[in-house]
Amino acid sequence: MGEGPAKIRLDKWLWHARFFKTRSLSAKLVSGGHCRVNGSPVAKPAFMVGPGDILTFPKERDVRVIRIVAPGERRGPAPEAQALYEDLDPPKPREREPQAPRYEGGGRPTKKDRRALDKSRPSALE
């Protein structure tokens, strides 16, 4: 059969490539209109994609830009899933989020800080 490149549903491909834990989560993202294929917005999870298509979609706090290399036949292990796409704009490493302020006049003291504070105060029993 002289078919062109194999095509697969967008929601299914996102699930196969392990961008989402469940297929319904990937379908929800596409249905919400948050996904673009080759620059055009897509709102149907059944939109067919194939090798060479470029996907743009939000994932956590990043916007992912992916080129589809293969359609995928199953949701396999991570190395198999990573072979399905080429990351055109890899996410930048995030800086660590600032922690709550330590007890240096700000924030709430930890138990260790409270013990040190109690030791530094004169005892009321003396």
Q: Which residues, including other chains, have CB under 8 Å from residue 115's CB and lie 6 or more apart?
A: none
The per-residue pLDDT for 102 is: 58
CATH annotation of 8-87: 3.10.290.10
Q: What is the mean pLDDT of residues 66-84?
A: 92
pLDDT digits (tens, 9 = 90+) for 28-65: 999 999 999 999 999 999 999 999 999 999 988 889 99
Every domain of the chain and the residues it spans: 8-87
28-51 core/surface letters (b: 16 or more CB in 10 A; e: else): ebbeeebbebeeeebeebebebeb
pTM of the complete model: 0.70
